[in-house]
Amino acid sequence: MKRPKMVLFDYGQTLIAEQKFDGVKGTEAVLRYATRNKYRLSAEQVQAKAIEINRECGRFDPAKRHLFQIEIPNTMFTPYLYESQGIEIALSNSEIDTVFWNAAAPGVPTEGIKDFLEYLKNKGIRTGVISNIAYDPSVVAERINRLLPENTFEFIITSSNFMFRKPNKRIFDLALEKAELQPDEVWYIGDQYECDVKGSLNAGLLPVWYIGAMVQPYAEDKNILTVTDWNGLRKRMEESLK
């Protein structure tokens, strides 16, 4: 392996391990800020509508999301969801994202990630983030910086801000442009095989498949560097940097 000049990370289940998503709990938290609820809808009813709209948009269909590779940001989704049901919320779109996300899917740093980021910093290896995520970019950055306060990420690229979703090559190309690096100078670490591993490989980066926080089964790919913990990856990197 070649020493990377930069390591890019996925967000969910890579940097941060999120609890099982509970949309009703998130909607309950948001509805506490409702100044108008014309039809007196419950959190369960509002979330049922959210699921209906998401299905129409293909957000729950991995095949469609991989086919179009375009993000529908919550700044577009959320206003329609609430206003179409006669609900007014006394929060900005980004504040709604914060309240909803913190209630629906709180997260904690993956075990060992803080030490691994410190290791990269000490080695002079730059870092950044590319995430497929619909939440407002400022909300994503706030969560990452709050949970990993010592990080030195040069940028946090979200599909909600730049339209394209991994595995689309364009979002990786954007990161390379921002970093002013060539693909073979960068590693990309993520937990999703199609989006993170195949996407970064297709963009010319060296993919690392991190499975330490995965909750779903996976099929091993012996051609891809796969790690179950950050200490193990650190050892592999140290071997390559000798």
Structure tokens at 166: 């991994």
Q: What is the pLDDT of residues 76-101, one digit of tens each?
A: 999 999 999 999 999 999 999 999 99
Question: What is the mean pLDDT of the segment spanning 89-118?
Answer: 98
For residue 186, what are the contacts with CB-CB under 8 A and spacing of at least 6? 4, 5, 6, 7, 8, 175, 176, 179, 205, 206
Residue 18 confidence (pLDDT) above 70 = yes
For residue 5, what are the contacts with CB-CB under 8 A and spacing of at least 6? 125, 126, 181, 185, 186
CATH topology for 6-19+107-240 is Rossmann fold (3.40.50)
State the pairing for strand pair 153-158/186-190.
unpaired
- What are the residue ranges of helices labelled H in 58-112? 62-68, 74-83, 93-104
Q: What is the pLDDT of residue 66?
A: 65
Buried b (16+ CB within 10 A) or exposed e, 180-194: ebebebbbbbbbbbe
CA dist., res. 68 & res. 90, Å (int):
34
Q: What is the pLDDT of residue 215?
A: 75
Residue 9 confidence (pLDDT) above 80 = yes
Top pLDDT among 238 and 183 is at: 183
Question: What is the mean pLDDT of the segment spanning 10-27?
Answer: 97
Q: Which residues pair with 206 in a beta bridge?
A: 187
| Full-model pTM | 0.95
What are the sequence ranges of the domains in the chain?
A: 6-19+107-240, 23-104
Residue given tokens 């693909």 in the structure block: 183
